[in-house]
Amino acid sequence: MLNIGPAMDFKEKLSARQSKVTMQEIVTWVNNNQQRFDALMVCFFSESVRLSQNTAWPVGKIGEKQPQLLYKHLKKMLDNLDNPVHDAVVRNTLRTLQFIKIPKEHQGQAANKCFEYLSDHQYPVAFRIFSMSVLWNIGQEEPDLLPELALVIEEQLPFGTSGIKARGAKILKQIGKQKTKYSL
């Protein structure tokens, strides 16, 4: 079990060299505890590149397994996409967004940012793949978004990586099924 006492020890652990063991220890330490997760998020939003970067991985894992802990930080996470200190922060924010039901009041901001990432080939592949999933999920509540998503994915496929092609094909297939369902 991770032995983290005061906030300083917590930050020291996160400032050390990143490893899978450390990430798992932090995830275990948070253990569905909102106060501990809130402390982790202070580090996630830090101006320190190393601290923020090293916090991003555990935040991503926790977001996948305990997404309810994220909701009080969601607005700040979305705002942080406009000025992140490291790509790991963006990657793990998008990773977590694909596992949660984004509240209506944040869907527009999330969709705009995800379309920005998906449409620009200069962004890392992970940003674009996670953005597809986030947009698909939002499209379940806002079906008018799906034709635009299909168009952007189709534009990406000819020169996309294998990951982009696989996720894109999967989502296009799901969009096609929804069109069929609604046209009957």
pLDDT in tens, 116-126: 999 999 999 99
On whether both 76 and 149 belong to a single domain, the answer is no
Lowest-confidence region among 6-10, 74-78, 160-164: 6-10
- Cα–Cα distances (Å) from 71 to 68, 99, 151, in that order, read 6, 12, 30
Residue 7 has a pLDDT of 46
Where is the domain boundary, 73, 100, 127? Answer: 100
Q: Quote the Cα angle for 27-80-73, to 5°.
A: 50
Give the pLDDT confidence score for residue 90 in this predicted structure: 95
* 2 or 45, which is more confident: 45
pLDDT tens string 46-93: 998 888 999 999 999 999 999 999 999 999 999 999 998 899 999 999
Share of the chain above pLDDT 90, in %: 68
Residues in CB range of 69: below 8 A, 6 or more apart: 30, 32, 34, 37, 62, 63
41 and 127 assigned to the same domain:
no
Residue 181 banded pLDDT, cuts 50, 70, 90? low
What value does the mean pLDDT of the chain take? Answer: 89
Residue 9 scores a pLDDT above 70:
no
Are 64 and 107 part of one and the same domain?
A: no
> Do 119 and 147 lie in a common domain?
yes
